[in-house]
Amino acid sequence: MQVPKRKSEQRNTFKADHFITRAKFDELQKQLEKFKKNIRPEAMKEVSRLAQTGDFSENHAYQMAKGRLRGINQRIFELEEDIKNAKIIEPSQNTNLVQIGHTVTLELENKTKTYQILGSTESKPTEGKISYLSPLGAELLGRQVGEIVTLKLADKRVDYKISKIE
């Protein structure tokens, strides 16, 4: 017999990797502290207050408050897991080869683009932050200044030349 699961338990919480910057790690710790010290105690008080108003089966506000508390507890669990499993990106001072945490300047058809290579949780290509798991990020890892990186797109090939590693 299969035990039914709540919607929150059915979510796919898989994360591709745990590489994060020190700033992101500090942000996660602040969020966890806020949830534990402020948000959860308030939610617990609300559940306790609504529990005193009578019949649980017909007390919609109580049911909603319990659901909110379950969501808060789930978020605390997720934050604790993220912090426990975090691998903080410490960019190497050796800039001979592209590594996670480095900022890479690329040349493409007389244009330059700069990307910082991070973990997938912090990737924002529009801000110049790409994942080391992305097609371009994966191709750049282990390369040197002057090398040409070829990316095969659906309808064409794009050649990037590495001009700088920081």
* pLDDT at residue number 106: 93
Measured torsion, CA atoms of residues 123, 37, 68, 63, in degrees rounded to the nearest 10:
170
Q: Is 119 exposed, middle or buried (0-12, 13-18, 19+ CB in 10 A)?
A: buried
- On whether the CB atoms of residues 40 and 73 are closer than 8 A, the answer is yes
Give domain status of residue 142, yes or no: yes
Give domain status of residue 7, yes or no: no
| Same domain for 154 and 111 | yes
| Same domain for 84 and 108 | no
Give 136's strand partners: none
Among 28, 53, 88, give the residue marking a domain's end: 88
Among 59, 88, 117, give the residue marking a domain's end: 88
d(CA 58, CA 63) in angstroms, rounded, equals: 9
d(CA 125, CA 82) in angstroms, rounded, equals: 22
Give domain status of residue 151, yes or no: yes
pLDDT digit string (tens) for 46-94? Answer: 999 888 877 767 778 888 999 999 999 999 999 999 999 999 998 888 8
Give domain status of residue 93, yes or no: no
CATH number for the domain that contains residue 74: 1.10.287.180
Look at 12 and 160; give whichever has higher pLDDT: 160
Among 63, 88, 113, give the residue marking a domain's end: 88
Give domain status of residue 62, yes or no: yes
- On whether the CB atoms of residues 131 and 123 are closer than 8 A, the answer is yes
Q: What domain range includes position 147?
A: 103-165
Total domain count for the chain? 2
d(CA 46, CA 102) in angstroms, rounded, equals: 47
φ, ψ (nearest 5 deg) of residue 164: -160, 140
| Same domain for 75 and 44 | yes
Strands 19-20 and 87-88, bridge-based pairing? parallel
Give domain status of residue 10, yes or no: no
pTM confidence score:
0.77
